[in-house]
Amino acid sequence: MRLHPTDATPTKGPTMPELPEVETVRRGLAPAMEGARFHKVEARRGDLRWPLPKDFVQRLEGQTVEGLGRRAKYLLADLSSGDVLLMHLGMSGSFRVLREAGESTPGKYHHERGKLIAHDHVVFHMGNGAVVTFNDPRRFGSMKLVRRAELEQEPLLRALGPEPLGNAFDAAMLARACRGKKTSLKAALSDQRIVAGLGNIYVCEALHRARLSPKRRASTIATRSGAPHERAQGLVDAIRAVLNDAIKAGGSSLRDHRRTDGALGDFQHNFRVYDRDGKRCPTSGCGGAIRRIVQTGRSTFFCPVCQR
């Protein structure tokens, strides 16, 4: 896996996988897991970010994965027992899938994922012969079993806002959520209660596409009564476009992998502003240069000329 060309930039640490990466992982894991039974499960340590349930292995072995879904940055495997296996990649988590055809690492990452066997913490041996390994050097990832009937009360999911690619997310909803908010647009869009699954990278990218400044007050996408300003619609469209493009790029990386035996993640990220401090703004006719500022402790990349 090749590193991003500017990986030596000292201004940032590893980035948390965002919605498109997690969705790509889901699509990569689905063929190995959906409809397959957990034949044998190895939990090589008792904890990731949090302790694994004591009966983790027993509750998985023998169960069939009826579907593999996603909510924000969580993967949700629906099991035949009525349990749901919740999985989160954290900062450094990744999956490898070993099948007869070869090995793959579904997902695209801005930073290289771990490869040391010592960090292979959980291994699923599926009844169809696939071996799915979770590797996580920093152990901020997590796995948890929740009864499907109790999923709506699950604390990790309960407070999440709507899915940005779902029907519940639209200009009216976003304007209502931002009405009267004195925080910046950057902070509002990063708030998982307002919209789920966006992180630093795609918030920066979406704001650039919408030509809105990350420093703009969140309340300015709504009228005083809370109705959506036209900026709200532009922002919703930009968020959807940025995510769909990234998912498409991730999907093509999965397809490429089937054609060749190259490592996954070895393809270009086409970020317009993220990590492009000092580079020329890609908006046609703009001529501005991308700047980096720090907002609520995180780097924001934007063009001060065309983002207002």
| Residues 245-284 interacting with Zn ion (rule: CB under 5 A) | 281, 283
283-302 footprint of Zn ion as x/- string (CB under 5 A): x--x-x--------------
Q: Which of 17, 20, 106, 228 is catalytic?
A: 17
Q: Which residues have a Cβ under 8 Å from the Cβ of 181 and sit 6 or more positions away?
A: 188, 217, 218, 219
3-state SS class at 107: coil
* 12 is known as an active-site residue: no
The one catalytic residue in 154, 163, 298, 304 is: 298
| Residue 18 bears catalytic tag | yes
CA distance linking residue 179 with residue 299, whole number of Å: 25
Q: How many CB atoms sit inside 10 A of residue 80's CB?
A: 12
Helix residue ranges, H only, the chain: 19-33, 56-60, 155-158, 171-178, 185-190, 200-209, 230-259
Position among 65, 177, 236, 306 found at the interface with Zn ion (CB under 5 A)? 306
Q: How far is the first Cα of the chain from the last one, in angstroms, to the nearest whole number?
A: 37
| DSSP string across 121-141 | EEEEEETTS-EEEEE-SS---
Catalytic residue among 18, 21, 23, 205: 18
Choose between 95 and 271: whose C-beta lies nearer to Zn ion: 271
Q: How far is the CB of 307 from Zn ion (least distance, A)?
A: 7
The smaller minimum CB distance to Zn ion, of residues 80 and 270, is found at 270
Q: Supply the minimum distance, in Å, between the C-beta of residue 286 and Zn ion.
A: 3
Q: How many CA atoms lie within 13 A of 302 on its CB side?
A: 27
Q: Does 57 bind Zn ion (CB under 5 A)?
A: no
Q: Least Å distance between CB 236 and Zn ion?
A: 21
Q: Which is nearer to Zn ion, 145 or 305 (CB)?
A: 305
Contacts with Zn ion by CB under 5 A: the residue count is 7
Q: Which is closer to Zn ion, CB of 124 or CB of 274?
A: 274
Give min distance, CB of 147 to Zn ion, in A: 50
* Residues in 74-103 at the binding interface with Zn ion, rule: CB under 5 A: none
Catalytic annotation, pick one of 21, 26, 73, 108? 73
Q: Which amino acid is at 263?
A: A
Respond yes or no: is residue 144 known to be catalytic: no
Contact at 8 Å (CB) between 34 and 67?
Answer: yes
Residue 154 CB, nearest approach to Zn ion (Å): 41
- Our CB check for Zn ion shows the closer of 76 and 290 to be 290
Q: How far is the CB of 144 from Zn ion (least distance, A)?
A: 43
Torsion over CA: 35, 36, 38, 43 (sign) = negative
Q: Distance (Å, rounded) from C-alpha 145 to C-alpha 51?
A: 11
Which CB, 62 or 304, lies closer to Zn ion?
304
Total residues found in the chain within this entry: 308
- How many whole angstroms separate alpha carbon 259 and alpha carbon 136? 27
* Interface ranges with Zn ion (CB under 5 A): 281, 283, 286, 288, 303, 305-306
Question: Which residues carry out catalysis?
Answer: 17-18, 73, 298
